[in-house]
Amino acid sequence: MPHNPLDHPLFWTVSLRVGLLLLAGLVVVLLIERRNLGRLGESALFLRVRSWATIAPVFVLTLFAGGFFVFGLAAFIALQASAEYVRLTGVQRRYAQLFVFWALVGLLVAALYRRYFLFLPLGFFMLLTLIPVLTGQVKGAHRQVTGTLFGYIYIGLPMAYFVFIKAAEDWGLEFLLIVGVAIALSDVGAFTLGSLLKGPKLAPKVSPGKTWWGTAGNLIGAGGGVALLWPAVPDEWTLPAVAAMTVAVAVGAVWGDLTESFVKRDFAVKDTGTLLPGFGGILDRVDSLLLALPLSYYVLLGVNNLTGG
């Protein structure tokens, strides 16, 4: 059931810190663009901050409200990102329809029938294989099945984890808040440090703009995000587990970004959409989240169990 966000003891602490972070970002952009204030609306940095000014409050309010608000946010992201992926890769209509259907099924399972959560990938594969079997249309079927399955595991399943963690863990709210902010600052850190220091390329054939210094920025940004929301860290999380989770956020953010990059490069596309000014499509914005979220969750669980949490 939804809750009144104002009733949660962490709401104002988190909101104030996120608000100050957004304000600091705006100040930095104004300083950088001080000689071009008349064309501020054309600045990619300003457009990013403006998009964040919408995304961050919605994210925070949704998590504190809980219930169907969390389900609705996850469904919107999953469906929009899936639609962008389908257009990008040329998934056929019947496969795309099944993709969308199973993405919603996964969210429902994550929220209400968590004991069946592990069946989601296999169940989707089995349904996909029925399309060529029942229709007899086998030409290109292998590519359609594998491409659609890739899309679900890359987009639909991680968004199901978003709902699953919130519903299954007593500290699900705190985890999603901390990891969400850490991923956002990880991306900012990578962009900032990579732009300032340049240096050797991380994966030049996949994403020519990414450098090893940018990867270091990912880690610094992730650490900054965790530190910023330290009051939200649950008592049962051990320090080694938090440290390991921070590293997992940074690694997952880079990994998710590179995954989207090789898909876009394969299809010669710069952005997956135009919904978010300064970023592109929803998939361009959540690419880091899609791998960082489940990876950091399992790393946190594993290290916390090993260190006595």
* Residue 127 domain-assigned (yes or no): no
Domain that holds residue 253: 171-309
Q: How many domains does the chain have?
A: 1
The answer to the question of residue 299 being in a domain is yes
Answer yes or no: is 131 within a domain: no
Within a domain: residue 236? yes
pLDDT digits (tens, 9 = 90+) for 129-142: 999 999 999 999 99
Residue 183 lies in a domain: yes
pLDDT digits (tens, 9 = 90+) for 238-248: 999 999 999 99
> Per-residue confidence of the chain (309 residues) as pLDDT tens digits?
677 888 899 999 999 999 999 898 888 878 877 777 777 777 777 777 888 888 899 999 999 999 889 999 999 999 999 999 999 999 999 999 999 999 999 999 999 999 999 999 999 999 999 999 999 999 999 999 999 999 999 999 999 999 999 999 999 999 999 999 999 999 888 888 887 887 889 888 898 888 899 899 999 999 999 999 999 999 999 999 999 999 999 999 999 999 999 999 999 888 888 887 767 889 988 999 999 999 999 999 999 999 986
Q: Which H, E and C letters describe the chain, residue by residue?
A: CCCCHHHCCCHHHHHHHHHHHHHHHHHHHHHHCHHHHHHHHHCHHHHHHHHHHHHHHHHHHHHHHCCHHHHHHHHHHHHHHHHHHHHHHCCCHHHHHHHHHHHHHHHHHHHHCHHHHHHHHHHHHHHHHHHHHHHCCCCCHHHHHHHHHHHHHHHHHHHHHHHHHHHHCCCHHHHHHHHHHHHHHHHHHHHHHHHHHCCCEEECCCEEEEEHHHHHHHHHHHHHHHHHCHHHCCCCCCHHHHHHHHHHHHHHHHHHHHHHHHHHHHCCCCCCCCCECCCECHHHHHHHHHHHHHHHHHHHHHHHHHCCC
